[in-house]
Amino acid sequence: MNPFLFLLLIIAISCDDNNVYKVSGTVYSVDLNKQKAIIAHDTIPNLMMPMTMPFFIKNKKDLTKIQIGDSVYFELVWEDIMPYARNFTILGKGFIPQNDEFFSDEFSEKNIGSILDDASFLNLDSVKVSLSQTDGKYRFISYVFSRCPMPNLCPAIMLKNAALVNQFPEINFIMISFDYKYDTPTVLNKSYGSSVNSCKNWDTWSSTGYIEDVFRLVRQSGGNFWGIEQEKIGHTLSSVLIGKDREVLGVWKGENWEVNEVSNAIKLLTN
């Protein structure tokens, strides 16, 4: 073989190996028409934290051999245009949490693929805006409140959003304050205006006057808050990536998610 061609072959193989990640998880759903399966996966080293998300499966033979509830091992091939899963091995049966539909209501957390309800808020100019007005675009929504005293909570979420905004100019980043009593548009403008106003794809919304809307949307996104009226605010943080029709694509609970891991997930989920 020509030495030059042999060298190119070695480089190609090496590059391919560097873009292949070993993944294990449990199959939640299979869509033969879209060639996708929703899988709750464990940590993918050097790529992303555990998540429940859809994977594109290029080979239909792989797709037809897996079933809901299967515990699987597979490879994720990272390509810029369309990452895909391949080489599935069924290890047994995994655990799938059961949702009790009897207790499900408009304030229940939405599953991956489910549609978030529409909700209205005020932008920094005190103009009413609705989530549906941004339909047709991918959106990354986080929840904060300006009086949060802990630098590792709401302020950290703001900084992480700032790190992602410039990476994804085609995605709308929306920070919504759930402190409907204090965080008026004027207050939020003082706290966040200098940051978000410099980016066309970054917004901050106030929930003043829209208590039910913010409570419903936060709960549907997997978060919660309490104590606004008592001035003893508590909350559990959650950030959510939604698709063009408001379908839930990914959820990151808490404040400890890493920017690079979420960035990798966004690239995968928006392809």
DSSP string, 22-65: EEEEEEEEEETTTTEEEEEE--BTTTB-SEEEEEEBS-HHHHHH
pLDDT band at 102; cut points 50, 70, 90: very low
How deeply is 6 buried, as exposed, middle or buried, from its count of CB atoms within 10 A (0-12, 13-18, 19+)?
Answer: exposed
pLDDT of residue 11: 36
Instruction: With cut-offs at 50, 70 and 90, classify the pLDDT of residue 236.
Output: confident
Residue type, 251: V
pLDDT at 221: 95
Amino acid at 171: I
Q: What is the pLDDT of residues 246-266, one digit of tens each?
A: 999 999 988 888 899 999 999
Token digits for 261? 């891991």
Its CATH class, for the domain covering 102-269, is: alpha beta
User: Is the model's pLDDT at 71 over the cut of 80?
Assistant: yes
Average pLDDT over residues 167-181: 96
Q: Output the pLDDT for position 100.
A: 44
pLDDT at 199 exceeding the cut of 80: yes
The domain 3-93 is placed in CATH, from the list 3.30.379.10, 2.140.10.30, 3.40.50.970, 2.40.50.320, at 2.40.50.320
Q: Model confidence over 25-41: pLDDT tens digits?
A: 999 889 999 898 989 88
Give the pLDDT score at 151.
Answer: 74
pTM: 0.76
- Does residue 1 or residue 63 have the better pLDDT? 63
Q: Do domains 3-93 and 102-269 have the same CATH topology?
A: no
Burial class (CB in 10 A: 0-12, 13-18, 19+), 193: middle
Q: Domain residues of the chain, as ranges?
A: 3-93, 102-269
Looking at every residue in the chain, the average pLDDT score rounds to 87
